[in-house]
Structure 1
């Protein structure tokens, strides 16, 4: 049994909320603070999430270069926009924005990893060369954030099986995986291929998976 001091429900504090108009809908923005690091994490919600079917959801790790600076080296910014668009189109859903830059290694180290990639390493090799795990993110924070809104099951927009596994271990049901395949381009082709080959990301659409016998 987990010690109560470190149980996921006690990892963050909810602080406050405000309205957040976007090009796609007027979301509500909710702020949380992580106890151990002081990091500020966010949730964007739309509609009533406490009742009805499992809402559309996205767990998005911070990517300053992709989300803010429009970098084409990754698909992060495009995934963020696509997820918000889909939630807006449905009129109901949640996006968790976790401050886990660079798969958990931080912004400066991510830039160091980019430099190694320019010398020939792939994204996994670069992280390992810097002394980090291939993916150092931790998803325990998701539980108390979803509990804040009474959410016990989600339709998760992701290509990453690790997120699905993490939610299952936390007791959150993934009622459906919704592929999020956007912005493949000449600059991120190797990045996306490495995600699939070395991290197990599911880089095919739901239709393609059925045709390939993967569903």
Structure 2
């Protein structure tokens, strides 16, 4: 059952190169998801795809508590270098699905010594409450069913495969750890199964 409506498209020049930006309205949640496309993706076998969860603090305000903004921009660069691919930007995914207010509450607990998983659990919230139906439907809109997925998160790969997307290859999307986000990255590696080679002892 389809729940997305494709509303609008336009060219979007960026510092990484030109993309086409497509806006999809989610009729279940009344939010708008975005697909950034590069090249002739409908003729490209196994295009590079980044399924990116909205992160206001990292993507917009350049927070160093996470690596989200860096991953987004690195994905744009890799897709441009490759010549074709997509970034699927999913709304309602802030803080792995807990929302911005709860994310700030979790940050406050992290400042007291908890890691990201422990903070969510202390608030009685899911460790990861995201779903990826919107990503699968946007890929279907572009007639794409096989991808090379830009992610370190094997759970994201499994979720897409459950929705009928064939992940031909999981392509690492690595950033340089900093003093501010090292514990965050270590927690993703140790507790959430992210494949981050430099942190996997």
Q: Name the TM-score, length of structure 2 as normaliser.
A: 0.96
1:116 matched to which residue of 2?
A: 109
Please give the residue correspondences for 1:149-188 in structure 2 after superposition, counting only pairs within 5 Å: 149-188=142-181
Structure 1 segments, 4+ long, off by >2 Å, are: none
2:44 matched to which residue of 1?
A: 52
1:33 matched to which residue of 2?
A: 25
Q: Name the TM-score, length of structure 1 as normaliser.
A: 0.90
Q: Which runs of 5+ in 1 are unaligned?
A: 1-6
C-alpha distance after superposition, 1:153-185 (max 9, x if no partner): 110000001111011111111111110110310
Secondary structure in structure 2 of the residue aligned to 1:50: helix
RMSD of aligned alpha carbons:
1.6
Asked whether the 8 Å contact 1:155–1:177 carries over to 2, the reply is yes
Give yes or no for the alignment of 1:68 onto 2:60: yes
Cα separation, 2, equivalents of 1:194 and 1:11: 34
Secondary structure in structure 1 of the residue aligned to 2:101: helix
Asked whether the 8 Å contact 1:78–1:183 carries over to 2, the reply is no
Please give the residue correspondences for 1:1-215 in structure 2 after superposition, counting only pairs within 5 Å: 7=1, 10-99=2-91, 100-204=93-197
